[in-house]
Amino acid sequence: MLKAAITFFILGVLAMLLGSFGIFGLSTDMGEMILSIFFIFALMSFIGSAEIERKRHKDIH
pLDDT in tens, the chain (61 residues): 678 878 877 888 888 888 877 777 787 888 888 888 989 999 999 999 988 888 887 777 6
Separation between Cα atoms, residue 31 and residue 8, nearest integer Å:
5
Instruction: Give pLDDT, residue 61.
Output: 62
Residues 6+ apart with CB under 8 A from 33: none
3-state secondary structure of 19: coil
Alpha-carbon span 17 to 47, nearest angstrom: 40
